[in-house]
Amino acid sequence: MNNKPVLTGLCFAELKGLLSSYPPFRSRQIYKWILAGTKSFNDMTNLPFPLRKELEEKFTLCSGTVGSELHDPDGTIKLGITLDDSSIIEAVILQDAAKRTTACLSTQAGCPLGCVFCKTGKLGFKRNLSASEISAQFMHLRMREPDISHIVIMGMGEPLLNLEELRKALNFFMDPDGLNISKRRITVSTSGIEKGILDLAENGPDIRLAFSITTARPLLREKLMPGSRENPLPLLKKALREYQKKRDRRITLEMVILGGINSSLPDAEAASDFAKGLNTVINLIPWNFVEGQEFEGAPLKAPTIRELEEFRAALESRGLKVTQRYGRGKSISGACGQLGVVIN
């Protein structure tokens, strides 16, 4: 295991502090090379050779190596990144219809929550990622697509169970001396960790928040999302209200729709009741196929077009604003819920 400090993922002030034994202008030069995606200290050609060699001996430039790269015809790119302990995580570039490019990043190797509709949840949990490992995913993706405009923390793992390291990575992304990505272009998605939501409300950063509710029927939600048992919906709603009180931001309620399971009228009524008193938009996500995923002994299936339309209409008739996500990257298992599927 490499124990040398990693430079990628540090905002400029942190980097300057770590390199305080060198002239200040060297920190600025090194930071510019990091932001440019330089792969080795030896490529930092405006540094004297002895300094490059010394940096190589003392520090690691970037975490992880890209072991696989898959491309979908719709423009999605999925990277498999191998970390120092041989853990493999995945990060994805997504392009929407307007050609807006978004980086989808992971915060954990595996996931401890075990949602039945998510491949990552079936992998089990290995460990949290460091801030440098989260940040490095973005830099690896940026080498493939320089014009990334948005970041979603919706990859492998539960972000709010690794909030402190995530915060450090977000500081790197938002650093006005560096990447300077607007907080309005960063979304963190959580399955619902009350303590983490309250922490975000109190301490920031002031990013966009998405809550993967899937269903607001408590018993069904516990079956579909076993990790939700410790964070019941009434406490989560209270935490979301506090977040909106402190941060004044609309929250996205994400619902993975499973054919014949959570698309009924009672599900629409429960979602409507949960959304009362919150400034929300509901984002419907038709389930993306993963072989072998089951619920109560039956294979999971995506909703039919009619099923989805009727469910959406039921929500909208109750005054809810509804959007729908169209799965991208399915052919490379890069869509929502598919990360962790090995494609040869």
Q: Is the peptide bond before 205 cis (omega within 30 degrees of 0)?
A: yes
Round to whole Å and give the CA distance between 88 and 81. Answer: 5
Which pair of tokens denotes residue 276?
A: 């009362």
Give the Cα separation of 206 and 203 in Å (integer).
Answer: 9
Rama region for 333: left / alpha / beta (φ>0; ψ in -120 to 50; rest): left
Q: How far is CA 224 from CA 117, 212, 265, 309, in A?
A: 7, 12, 18, 22
Spatial distance between the Cα atoms of 324 and 308, rounded to a whole number of angstroms = 10
Q: Look at residue 213 and give its three-state secondary structure.
A: coil
165 a catalytic residue: no
Active-site residue, from 11, 62, 90, 133 = 90
Token pair belonging to 99: 């050609």
Pairing of strands 88-95, 101-104: antiparallel
Q: Which two tokens stand for residue 17?
A: 């502090």
90 is catalytic: yes
Instruction: Identify the active-site residue in 11, 104, 118, 336.
Output: 336
Q: Which pair of tokens denotes residue 6? A: 């990693």
Cα distance between the two ends of the chain: 27
Element (H, E) at 30: helix 24-35
Q: What is the DSSP string of 183-210?
A: GGGEEEEES--HHHHHHHHHH----EEE
Task: Tell me, letter by letter, the H, E, C secondary structure of 321-337.
Answer: CEEECCCCCHHHCCCCC
Give me the active site residues, please: 90, 336
